[in-house]
Chain A
Amino acid sequence: MNWKHVQLIFQREMTDQLRDRRTLFTITVLPLLLYPFLGMLMMQVAQFKNDSSVRVQVVGLEHWPSDQPLLDAEGDLVVEPGMERVAKLIDFESIPWNTNLNPLAADREAGDDDISAVESRARNAVTLDQADLVLIVQPDFSQRLKERLRGSVGESDSPAAGASDVAAAQSAELDDGLQVVANLARDRSQIARKRLETVLESWQRNWASSYLEEAGVSPGVFRPLALNATDLAPASVKRAMLWSKVLPFVMLIWALTGAFYPAIDLCAGEKERGTLETLLSSPARRREIVWGKLGAICLFSIGSALLNLLSMHLTAGMIVKQLASQGTPQLAEALGPMPFHALGWLVLLLLPMAAFFSALALAVAALARSTKEGQYYLMPLLLVTLPLVALPLMPSLELNLGTSLVPVSGAIFLVRSLIEGRYIEALVHLPVVLLVTATCCWFSVRWAIRQFESESVMFRESGRWNIRIWVHHLWRDREDTASPAEAVLCGVIIIVSMFFAQFLAGSSIDSWAAIAKSTFVVQVGLILTPCLLMAIFLTRSFTRALRLHKPQPSHLVAAIMLGLCMHPSYMLLSSGIQQVYQIGEETQLVLQHFQSMVTAQPLWAVLLLMAVLPAICEELAFRGFIFGGLLRQHGVLRAIIISALFFGFTHTVLQQSISASVMGLVLGFIAWRTGGVICTMLVHAINNALSLSMAWFGANSVDLPVALDWALTHQDGAYVYNPTWTTASMVLSIGLLFIISRRSSETRRFAQTELA
């Protein structure tokens, strides 16, 4: 690698982008203007919403209890201290029950003082937008309220009983003579109703207190408990918690957007303008070009995110000040100012994330032939990365081993812990997060370099696509093994069909017959059949496509021993995963029920159906057809990782999926070194058989021979491995994998043909 070339390309790309007004506007000017503009708009809208009065008509205010009036002598609402602001935002218009006033006068007829007529007029008033809400106070409202209360108090012998009756009356009072007519599809009506309810609640409290005092009961009876909370969290930390959720999300979205547009211009744009070929013919190697461009894209991504952050910080500060001056100090206190130390941690998060997003954007942009085509790739890229950025917004999710393993989300959780001052927790998970993030960055950069090294990507010409020609091409140009695209398609077909089959099956699997049937359908129908059909129709050699290559004898023996030795490690891994990602109670019950049904059957039947059949079907599909296809064009790592992921996805429970994916990596390695699926079938079948047998022997209380005591112990109705054997088996497994990695010259030659 010539770093001088990288530096030159980086400098040129930076200069070029800084001279582009569109890029400059999107990356720098827009964020600086956007937040102040949005903040100003928000404040104005909020102010308008808060300050504008609502119109409330009250029909029959004369029926309101005179000893506890709703309006005072000046016609203002009687409310508790502190509620005056709300009261002022209601324009009350009192309409006497029998007074002729528009629109009530419009269709007034003799004897129309009944409730339905008044209600009909109230409807008109709301419909004709003469009021946002009409409150109807029925003629007997005051009387009914008093009678009920008096009766209740009279009947009760104790002040406490009286108080409960007051409460009952209080809860029913709105139904007893008050009616609200409003069009709640309109915002103003909704605001009017909220404000009216606030005012009436205030009136209620006054009313209840006065009656309780009359009855000799303290109004405090309604609040017998008062919690004195001691909050240890300083206000700054509480503010940090709020911002720690919002800021990473906003920042990373801008980091991605800030990376994508320069990536499109520096890749697809250059292809379109013809300058990329000029550069490709220069002494700079492809990887040097990628690193140079990546540096520039990364810097723009960081710059864009930082400017957004800064602009948001300044705007939030202004809004908080404004809120405080507008009489909402609690909200101002809760919101801000944005903690400054949070910005430092966010910058730390930004650096690896910007590198990751930039490499992803560059690799995706390399696919595009033009800037226009490149724009289409933004949405899929966002759809893939958005869930990872949004996951930490979910409530009750925190940094732990499980979340720290999720790319992007893990890093956000870590930074959140740092912002919230949980440094020990962050330090514990830092190595895992760093490892995951570094791996993601490495893979994305590698992908980008491969894209630039691929002639078919760099010099892709647009051609007319026709389904007939394409189908003909699939048949005519088929090769001994599947192509990488066909391999991925097979995996996707299996996953999607299993997803739908799961819904169709529902919860009907409640007997051994149903288990047997569903296992057979899934293994043969959904996993084996697609790969067999694709092997028949899309490849020239059935045995090569399914990798039915005869293994060398040493590999066969090693595979059988590995199956036996690796099982304790697999069990340890599974229990470790279950500790990190706890299985929910419901799932656990379902699994227990499932196990009880399985262990009640003869062992031979269980092994045949759940150990041998999956080993054959899954290995033919994942380490056979899919692996063989992905192996082409020297894609060893690609084949091992992608086939393992597909294998993991076919296991429905998350915890099983993770352990199966890890197992898939080991099986992938064995499949690569042995050149076929026979050895992986053996390892897979033995592993499944051991898991099932141990569960079966434990559930049926079968005593194992004493000779096995050195390896197994019976604990709580289940067999578990002794720690000594577990440790020893791990060492043995490594040794056996080493044996498997040694290939004869014939196996090596065969492997070379698979890579072509």
Chain B
Amino acid sequence: MVEADQLTKTYPDLQVGKFVALDHVSFSVGEGEIFGLLGPNGAGKTTALRILSTVLQPTEGSARVNGFDVVTHPDEVRHSIGFVSNNTAIYERMTAWEMVEYFGRLYGLAPDHLEARMHEVFEQLQMMDIRDVAGGRMSTGMQQKVNIARAIVHDPPVLVFDEASIGLDVLVARALLDIISGLRDEGKCIIFSTHIMREVERLCDRVGILHRGKMLAYGTLSELAEQRGEDDFEELFFRLLKESDQNEVAEISSDRKSAVTTVSLWGKP
């Protein structure tokens, strides 16, 4: 359902020249599966998910969503995906109903179908009591529910949740995970990015661990535990990150040494 192949994204950067936000990352997610994209802040999770939702374009590599290429067929991709991020907010001066209706119409749903679908979604997410509340008057949890309703109103086969539980209290976060779990049961392909281990353990069928734009590990939780000989997923996560950092330091110092060698060789022809 979702395939990312050698996805790379670089940005011009004043400090380092070219900042590699995503470095040849590959993964795939199937129907009725929740794929957890895990990593600390700045790992490249949001960049990867923005590329999948066609908000950004990859510098290299390709990605397909529901069989459509994100660069060549962005319109089809957008119709196939629902994108919820901690960066995507709701309109303060629109009610929950108006907002979901607006996006439903943008997705091209026929008025009758849209009405029925909205009732279905509002009931599913238990939002009927807030349907006429303006976005500016809602709590964070309510806002996130509206955001999810907005993302699923057109019943997309793929759903992307980018750190969607950030800022939510325990109860609302739990409700959110239940909703996502329910959506998986409906056969949706879900990509769920987070840096909270417990959410991953509870929800994800497979995970990919991203750090500094690189995919450090990829597989089911049990596969990863077996490969690394570590049952505690949180420990495994920290070990991977530590190893990656140590490797990088070693690479840099080796580069410096070779540079020094080159200079001395030039000095002694």
Binding site for B on A (CB under 8 A): 4-5, 8, 12, 15-16, 19-20, 273-275, 277-278, 280-285, 455-456, 459, 463, 465-466, 469-470, 473, 476-477
Inter-subunit contact A283/B56 (CB<8 Å): no
Chain B residues whose CB sits within 8 angstroms of the CB of A273 once the complex forms? 89, 92
Contact partner of A16 among B75, B88, B93, B106, CB < 8 A? Answer: B93
Question: When chains A and B are docked, how far (Å) is the Cα of A284 from the Cα of B91?
Answer: 17
Q: Nearest Cβ in chain B — how far from A116, in angstroms?
A: 76
0/1 interface trace, chain B 68-103, chain A, CB 8 Å (1 if under): 000000010011010101011111111000000011
Bound Cα distance from A281 to B88, whole angstroms:
9
B170 part of interface (Cβ distance < 8 Å): no
A281-B53 contact in complex given A19-B93, A473-B17, C-beta closer than 8 Å:
yes
CB distance from A486 to the nearest CB of B (A): 14
Which residue of chain B is the closest to A470 with respect to CB atoms?
B14
B contact residues around A455 at 8 Å (CB) = 56-57
Q: A283-B79, A470-B14, A473-B17 are in contact. Are A16 and B91 (CB under 8 A)?
A: yes
Question: In the complex, which range does the number of interface residues on chain B fall in?
Answer: 20 to 34
Q: Which of B54, B79, B83, B106 has the most CB of A within 10 A?
A: B106
Q: Is B174 an interface residue (CB 8 A)?
A: no
Query: Contacts A8-B106, A16-B93 given: A463-B14 contact, CB under 8 Å?
Result: yes
A476: chain B residues within 8 A (beta carbon):
17
Query: Nearest chain B CB to A668's CB is how many angstroms away?
Result: 27
Do the beta carbons of B90 and A281 come within 8 Å of each other? no
B82 to chain A, nearest CB (A): 9
For B87, give its contact among A12, A277, A473 (CB under 8 Å): A277
Q: Add 6 more A-B contacts to A8-B106, A278-B88 (CB < 8 A).
A: A12-B102, A15-B93, A273-B89, A281-B78, A465-B14, A477-B12
CA distance A277 to B83 in the complex (A): 10
Question: CB-CB < 8 A to B90: which residues of A?
Answer: 275, 278
Q: How far is it, in angstroms, between the C-alpha of A470 and the C-alpha of B12 when the chains are bound?
A: 12
Known contacts A8-B105, A8-B106, A16-B94; decide if A277 and B88 are in contact (CB<8 Å). Answer: yes
- The chain A residue sitting closest to B49, CB to CB, is A281
Q: Is the CB of A281 within 8 A of B83?
A: yes
Closest chain A residue to B56, Cβ basis:
A455
From DSSP, what is the main secondary structure of chain A's interface residues?
helix
Complex contact B106–A283 (CB within 8 A) = yes
- In the complex, whether B150 has a CB less than 8 A from a CB of chain A is yes
Which residues of chain A have C-beta atoms less than 8 A from B81's C-beta?
281
**Is the C-beta of B264 less than 8 angstroms from some C-beta in chain A?**
no
Instruction: Find chain B residues with CB under 8 A from A8 CB.
Output: 102, 105-106
- State whether the Cβ of B225 lies closer than 8 Å to any Cβ in chain A: no
B75 contacts across to A, CB distance below 8 A: 283, 285
Which residues of chain A are near B105, meaning CB under 8 Å? 8
Q: How far is the CB of A701 from chain B (nearest CB, A)?
A: 62
- Cβ B107 vs Cβ A282 within 8 A: yes
Residues in chain A near residue B53, CB distance under 8 A: 281
Complex contact A274–B89 (CB within 8 A): yes
Q: Which residues of A contact B15 (CB under 8 A)?
A: 469, 473
CA distance A455 to B54 in the complex (A): 11
Q: If the complex has contacts A16-B94, A281-B78, are A275 and B89 also in contact, measured as CB distance less than 8 A?
A: yes
Known: A8-B102, A8-B106. A280 touches B55 (CB 8 A): yes
The yes or no answer to B111 lying at the interface (CB within 8 A) is: no
**How far is it, in angstroms, between the C-alpha of A69 and the C-alpha of B93 when the chains are bound?**
77
Instruction: Give the top 10 A-B pairs by smallest Cβ distance, nearest first.
Output: A274-B89, A278-B88, A19-B93, A281-B83, A477-B17, A283-B78, A281-B53, A473-B14, A282-B106, A275-B89
Q: List 12 A-B contacts (CB under 8 A).
A: A4-B108, A5-B106, A19-B93, A274-B88, A275-B90, A277-B55, A277-B85, A281-B88, A282-B78, A456-B12, A469-B14, A477-B17
In angstroms, Cα B14 to Cα A465, docked, is 8
Complex partner residue of B108 from A283, A470, A477, CB under 8 angstroms:
A283
Task: Please determine whether A284 and B56 come into contact, CB atoms closer than 8 angstroms.
Answer: no
Nearest Cβ on chain B to A30's Cβ, whole angstroms: 20
Inter-chain contact B14/A275, CB cutoff 8 Å: no
Closest to B76 in A: A283
A-chain residues with CB within 8 Å of residue B12 when the two chains form the complex: 456, 477
Query: CA–CA, A15 to B17, complex, Å?
Result: 44
Within 8 A of A (CB), among B130-150: 147, 150
Which chain B residue lies CB-closest to A11? Answer: B102
CB distance from B18 to the nearest CB of A (A): 8
Cα A477 to Cα B18 in complex, Å, equals 8
Q: Which residues of A contact B106 (CB under 8 A)?
A: 5, 8, 282-284
Shortest CB–CB separation between residue B20 and chain A, in angstroms?
14
Q: Bound complex: CA of A16 vs CA of B107, how far in Å? A: 20
CA separation between A277 and B90, bound complex, in Å?
A: 10
CB contacts (< 8 Å) of B85 on chain A: these are 277
Alpha-carbon gap, A16 to B93, bound state (A): 6
Given known pairs A277-B87, A282-B103, A283-B75, the reply for A20 and B93 (CB within 8 Å) is yes
Write out the residue numbers on chain B whose beta carbons fall within 8 Å of the beta carbon of A278.
88-90, 147, 150
Residues of B within 8 Å of A275, CB to CB, are: 88-91
Complex formed: what's the CA distance from A89 to B233 in Å? 95
* B-side contacts of A470, CB under 8 Å: 14
Q: Please report the C-alpha to C-alpha distance between residue A459 and residue B85 in the assembled complex, in whole angstroms.
A: 15
Q: Which chain B residues border A274 with CB–CB below 8 Å? A: 87-89
Residues of B within 8 A of A456 (CB): 11-12
Which of A15, A281, A473 is within 8 Å of B54, CB to CB? Answer: A281
Q: Which among A455, A465, A470 has the highest number of chain B CB atoms within 10 Å?
A: A455
Query: Which single residue of chain B is at the shortest CB-CB distance from A269?
Result: B92
* A15-B79 Cα distance, complex, nearest whole Å: 25
Bound Cα distance from A340 to B15, whole angstroms: 61
A333 to B247, CA, bound (A): 88
- In the complex, chain B residues 181-224 whose Cβ is within 8 Å of any chain A Cβ: none
In the assembly, what is the distance between CA of A295 and CA of B164, in Å? 33
Q: Which residues of B contact A15 (CB under 8 A)?
A: 93-94
Chain B residue with Cβ nearest A283: B78
Q: How many whole Å from A399's CB to the nearest CB in chain B?
A: 45
Q: Which of B14, B81, B147 has the most chain A CB atoms inside 10 A of its CB?
A: B14
- Residue in chain A with minimal CB distance to B17: A477
CA distance A30 to B259 in the complex (A): 68
Q: Which residues of B contact A5 (CB under 8 A)?
A: 106
**Per-position 1/0 for B105-135, Cβ under 8 A of A:** 1111000000000000000000000000000
Interface readout for B9-51 with A: 1 if CB under 8 Å, 0 if not? 0011011011000000000000000000000000000000000
Return B184 CB to nearest CB of chain A, in Å: 21
Shortest distance from the beta carbon of B93 to any chain A beta carbon, whole Å: 4
Of A283, A456, A473, the most chain B CB neighbours within 10 A belong to: A283
- Please name the residue on chain B nearest to A465 by beta carbon: B14
Select the residue from B53, B56, B88 with max chain A CB neighbours within 10 A. Answer: B88
**In whole angstroms, how far apart are the Cα atoms of A280 and B87 in the complex?**
12
- Which residues of A lie under 8 Å from residue B102 when comparing CB positions? 8, 12
In the assembled complex, which residues on chain A have CB atoms less than 8 Å from the CB atom of B17?
473, 476-477
Most buried by B among A19, A456, A476: A19
A283–B94 touching, CB < 8 Å: no
* A288 nearest in chain B by CB position: B106
Which residues of chain A are within 8 angstroms of B150 by Cβ–Cβ distance? 278
Smallest Cβ-Cβ distance to B15: which chain A residue: A469
Contact B56 A459 (CB under 8 A): yes
> CA–CA, A274 to B88, complex, Å?
5
Cβ contacts under 8 Å, A280 to chain B: 55
Question: Least Cβ distance of A752 to chain B in Å?
Answer: 18
CA distance A228 to B92 in the complex (A): 70
Report the Cα distance A106→B79, complex, angstroms. Answer: 96
